[in-house]
């Protein structure tokens, strides 16, 4: 762990690359906290807490760190209504600040997509989500700072005819760390891990009510994390979790999306 006092001399002149005016890690730490978590291959609770300020904590029912990067909310139960018409749908939205907001869906096996996404062919991805300031060649497994993160995943609903599952859907795409988007193991629970539970339920013929809510603080451009809730109509699948938008090799300025290297 780095303490504030021990890093002032070394880092006071260290700046991010930003066209909106440079800010130093010293200023970032002075304004945000007295210390900052050190580099970690895994998401420790100290790193996860960077995305759980009091305002978001208050809006989640009893969030508890699961030991693997995410928070269990309300004892992993949700009040999503599963007495629904089983017709699949996806409904995206923007909030008053034009940021991606709550995404609701009913999904089943019929809209499950097994083919790879072809957005990248012929440079078809043009969307720059809010706060998307990429950083490359980072230390560790996740060498990119950010992905274009889907709220409702391509593999979950890509066959729904009226749903834009591409990376150009500004209502469905957030600036999300590579870890938060990709981590998929039971010991490394990013959003892809929980999406995998939905995909598995779809493959088993189940119908699932799903909600993904990006959570922001004030006017910040980058969400602190995504609140994920799912429940199958037969009750076999249910989860209620918060996936923090963090990464073990960077520190994020959520107001702008610019990052500094985590030492």
pLDDT of residue 1: 43
- Which residue has better confidence, 178 or 32? 178
At 21, the pLDDT band (50, 70, 90 cuts) reads very low
pLDDT of residue 120: 53
CA distance 76 to 231: 10
Q: Any idea which residues carry the catalytic annotation?
A: 150
- Residue 85 near residue 236 (C-beta atoms within 8 A): no
The answer for residues whose C-beta is within 8 angstroms of residue 257's C-beta and 6 or more apart is: 130, 131, 132, 133, 146, 175, 221, 222
Rg (CA), the chain: 19
Tell me how far CA of residue 78 lies from CA of 57, 209, 229, 238, in angstroms: 17, 10, 6, 7
- Which residue has better confidence, 110 or 34? 110
Helix axis angle, 4-11 to 25-32, nearest 10°: 160
The answer for residues whose C-beta is within 8 angstroms of residue 162's C-beta and 6 or more apart is: none
At 251, the pLDDT band (50, 70, 90 cuts) reads very high
Q: Which pTM does this prediction carry?
A: 0.87
Average pLDDT over residues 90-104: 98
At 124, the pLDDT band (50, 70, 90 cuts) reads confident
Architecture of domain 71-247: 3-Layer(aba) Sandwich (3.40)
Query: Tell me: the pLDDT tens digits for 172-202?
Result: 999 999 999 999 999 999 999 999 999 999 9
CA distance 152 to 212: 7
Domain extents in the chain: 71-247
CA distance 169 to 157: 14
At 19, the pLDDT band (50, 70, 90 cuts) reads very low
Question: What proportion of the chain, given as a percentage, has pLDDT over 90?
Answer: 81
- Burial class from Cβ neighbours inside 10 Å (0-12, 13-18, 19+) for residue 263 reads middle
pLDDT reading at 257 higher than 70 = yes
> Quick one: tokens of 133?
């300031």
pLDDT of residue 116: 86
- Residue 216 near residue 99 (C-beta atoms within 8 A): yes
- Which residue has better confidence, 89 or 35? 89
Query: What does the mean pLDDT of the chain come to?
Result: 89
CA distance 164 to 30: 42
Query: Tell me: the pLDDT tens digits for 33-58?
Result: 557 899 999 999 999 999 999 999 99
CA distance 133 to 120: 19
CA distance 196 to 113: 13
pLDDT of residue 83: 83
């Amino acid at each position: 762990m780095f303490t504030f006092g021990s890093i002032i001399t070394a880092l006071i002149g260290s700046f991010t690359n930003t066209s909106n005016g440079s800010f130093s890690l010293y200023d970032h730490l002075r304004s945000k906290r007295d210390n900052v978590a050190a580099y970690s291959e895994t998401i420790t609770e100290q790193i996860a807490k960077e995305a759980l300020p009091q305002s978001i904590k208050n809006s989640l029912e009893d969030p508890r760190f699961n030991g693997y990067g995410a928070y269990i909310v309300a004892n992993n139960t949700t009040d999503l209504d599963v007495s629904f018409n089983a017709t699949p749908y996806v409904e995206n939205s923007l909030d008053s600040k034009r940021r991606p907001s709550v995404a609701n869906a009913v999904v089943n096996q019929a809209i499950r997509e097994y083919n790879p996404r072809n957005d990248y062919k012929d440079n078809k991805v043009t969307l720059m989500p809010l706060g998307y300031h990429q950083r490359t060649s980072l230390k560790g497994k996740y060498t990119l700072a950010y992905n274009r993160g889907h709220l409702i995943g391509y593999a979950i609903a890509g066959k729904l005819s009226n749903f834009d599952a591409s990376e150009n859907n500004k209502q469905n795409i957030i600036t999300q760390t590579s870890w938060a988007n990709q981590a998929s193991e039971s010991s490394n629970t990013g959003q892809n891990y929980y999406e995998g539970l939905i995909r598995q339920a779809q493959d088993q013929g189940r119908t699932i009510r799903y909600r993904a809510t990006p959570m922001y603080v004030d006017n910040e451009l980058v969400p602190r994390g995504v609140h994920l809730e799912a429940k199958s109509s037969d009750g076999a699948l249910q989860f209620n979790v918060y996936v923090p938008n963090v990464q073990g090799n960077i520190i994020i300025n959520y107001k702008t999306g610019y990052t500094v290297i985590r030492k």
